[in-house]
């Protein structure tokens, strides 16, 4: 990783210049950092990463407004977009992925329609947290969680912790949260999980309606299927390092589990903003470390060590 100087970009038609205030380091960013790729996508050229970010617009119709930046630019005309699944767009351009530079810089130009103005109650760091919150909201939708449902969250990094908050806001009981790291288990208790355990302590008789796997490892998938009742849904949110997921087919078949794969999010930024603005979800407490842009390498090292929760770079 290196920090370099580039010219401030000039916005094109229907674009705005954003002065970036905060960038959250995501687990997928760590895949780029540690492995040079995500699944079958590999880095071939220098890439500015960062897709969880917010900033202040300079010039144009949103001049002076703090905005959250939607990193996904969907084409709007492919079959998946037209059927209401823009997160599956075959022509999507995504910040910090492929050839599209992301938000880990002081300024960027971005389509104005992908900028979401924030209420005065939210600062830049809170705005950056809306992207992982959106992932959690989308996963909740995929889980078909109903009022009064019992759910489990396996993997209590930032998105897992937001899953706990979102599920509780939706009227579900988070009867179990699972993580091998003690500080994340403590955070899961703070987020509102009723019972928090290390993986080796999970019993076989939990029986939740929906289990969310948010770790990206085979043991986490196994645990999610273990705690699910017969006929339950298991939503796989985590991204595995080696682009492979395996599990015991006999258990999943015997329980008749519905296995759902989560892909980013749909158009959920307005919902995420309302949840935070109304106090139904608290994102502020999740930030454990803040670094200036010049220390981005150190920020990634801290995030990779997984000693805290959310690591934020403030350009």
CATH of the domain at 100: 3.90.180.10
Q: Are residues 20 and 45 in the same domain?
A: yes
Looking at every residue in the chain, the average pLDDT score rounds to 96
Tens-place pLDDT, residues 237-268:
999 988 899 999 999 999 999 999 999 999 99
Asked if residue 6 belongs to a domain, the reply is no
Per-residue pLDDT, 296: 95
Q: Are residues 102 and 41 in the same domain?
A: yes
Q: Are 48 and 32 in contact (CB under 8 A)?
A: no
- Rounded Cα gap, residues 262 and 207, in angstroms: 22
Q: Are residues 120 and 158 in the same domain?
A: no
- Rounded Cα gap, residues 145 and 122, in angstroms: 28
The neighbour count for residue 301, using CB atoms within 10 Å, is 13
CA torsion sign for 66, 68, 69, 75 is negative
- Rounded Cα gap, residues 166 and 85, in angstroms: 21
Q: Are residues 254 and 287 in the same domain?
A: no
pTM of the model: 0.95
Over residues 109-138, the mean pLDDT reads 98
Per-residue pLDDT, 163: 98
The per-type count for the chain, helices as H runs and strands as E runs, is: 10, 17
| Backbone φ, ψ for residue 29 (5° rounding) | -60, -40
Above pLDDT 90, what percent of the chain? 91
Asked if residue 7 belongs to a domain, the reply is no
Q: Are residues 216 and 307 in the same domain?
A: no
Per-residue pLDDT, 241: 86
Residue 273: DSSP 8-state: H
pLDDT-based confidence at 27, cuts 50/70/90? confident
Per-residue pLDDT, 270: 97
Residues in the chain, total: 315
The two structure tokens encoding residue 112: 């104005």
Q: At what angle do helices 182-191 and 158-169 cross, to 10 degrees?
A: 20
Q: Are residues 63 and 123 in the same domain?
A: yes
Residue 208: DSSP 8-state: E
Over residues 152-176, the mean pLDDT reads 98
Asked if residue 274 belongs to a domain, the reply is no
Strand partners, 178: 154, 197
Asked if residue 10 belongs to a domain, the reply is no
pLDDT-based confidence at 44, cuts 50/70/90? confident
Asked if residue 203 belongs to a domain, the reply is yes
pLDDT-based confidence at 99, cuts 50/70/90? confident
Alpha helices of 170-232 — where are they, by DSSP H?
Answer: 182-191, 218-227
Over residues 159-168, the mean pLDDT reads 98
Q: Are residues 125 and 147 in the same domain?
A: no
pLDDT-based confidence at 43, cuts 50/70/90? confident
| Backbone φ, ψ for residue 19 (5° rounding) | -90, 110
Is the pLDDT at 70 greater than 80, yes or no? yes
Q: Are residues 257 and 148 in the same domain?
A: yes
- Rounded Cα gap, residues 3 and 6, in angstroms: 10
Tens-place pLDDT, residues 173-226:
999 999 999 999 999 999 999 999 999 999 989 999 999 999 999 999 999 999
Asked if residue 277 belongs to a domain, the reply is no
Q: Are residues 108 and 221 in the same domain?
A: no
Q: Structural domain of residue 245, as residue ranges?
A: 137-261
Q: Are residues 287 and 235 in the same domain?
A: no
Is the pLDDT at 39 greater than 80, yes or no? no
Asked if residue 271 belongs to a domain, the reply is no
Q: What is the CATH number of the domain that holds 245?
A: 3.40.50.720
Is the pLDDT at 112 greater than 90, yes or no? yes
Q: Are residues 164 and 242 in the same domain?
A: yes
Q: Are 109 and 18 in contact (CB under 8 A)?
A: yes
How many domains does the chain fold into?
2
Asked if residue 272 belongs to a domain, the reply is no
Q: Are residues 287 and 196 in the same domain?
A: no
Per-residue pLDDT, 37: 82
pLDDT-based confidence at 125, cuts 50/70/90? very high
Is the pLDDT at 14 greater than 90, yes or no? yes
């Amino acid at each position: 990783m290196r920090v370099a100087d580039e010219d401030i970009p000039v916005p094109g038609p229907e674009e705005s210049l954003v002065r970036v205030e905060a960038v959250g380091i995501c687990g997928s960013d760590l895949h780029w950092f540690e492995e040079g790729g995500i699944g079958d996508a590999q880095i071939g050229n220098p890439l500015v990463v960062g897709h969880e970010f917010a900033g202040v617009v300079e010039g144009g119709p949103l001049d002076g407004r703090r905005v959250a930046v939607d990193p996904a630019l969907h084409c709007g005309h492919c079959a998946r977009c037209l059927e209401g699944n823009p997160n599956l767009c075959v022509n999507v351009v995504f910040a910090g992925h492929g050839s599209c530079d992301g938000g880990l810089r002081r300024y960027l130009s971005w389509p104005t329609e992908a900028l979401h103005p924030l209420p005065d109650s939210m600062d830049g760091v809170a705005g950056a947290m809306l992207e992982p919150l959106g992932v959690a909201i989308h996963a909740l939708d995929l889980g078909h969680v109903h009022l009064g449902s019992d759910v489990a969250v396996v993997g209590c990094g930032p998105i897992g912790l937001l899953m706990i908050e979102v599920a509780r806001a939706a009227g579900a009981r988070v009867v179990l949260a699972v993580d091998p790291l003690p500080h994340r288990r403590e955070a899961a208790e703070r987020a509102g999980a009723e019972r928090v355990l290390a993986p080796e302590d999970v019993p076989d008789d939990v029986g939740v309606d929906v289990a969310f796997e948010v770790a990206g490892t085979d043991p986490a998938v196994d645990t999610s299927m273990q705690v699910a009742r017969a006929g339950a849904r298991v939503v796989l949110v985590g991204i595995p390092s080696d682009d492979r997921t395996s599990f015991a087919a006999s258990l999943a078949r015997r329980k008749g589990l519905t296995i759902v794969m989560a892909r980013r999010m749909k158009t959920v930024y307005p919902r995420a903003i309302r949840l935070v603005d109304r106090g139904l979800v608290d994102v502020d407490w999740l930030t454990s470390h803040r670094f200036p842009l010049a220390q981005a390498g150190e920020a990634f090292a801290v995030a990779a060590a997984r000693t805290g929760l959310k690591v934020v770079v403030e350009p």
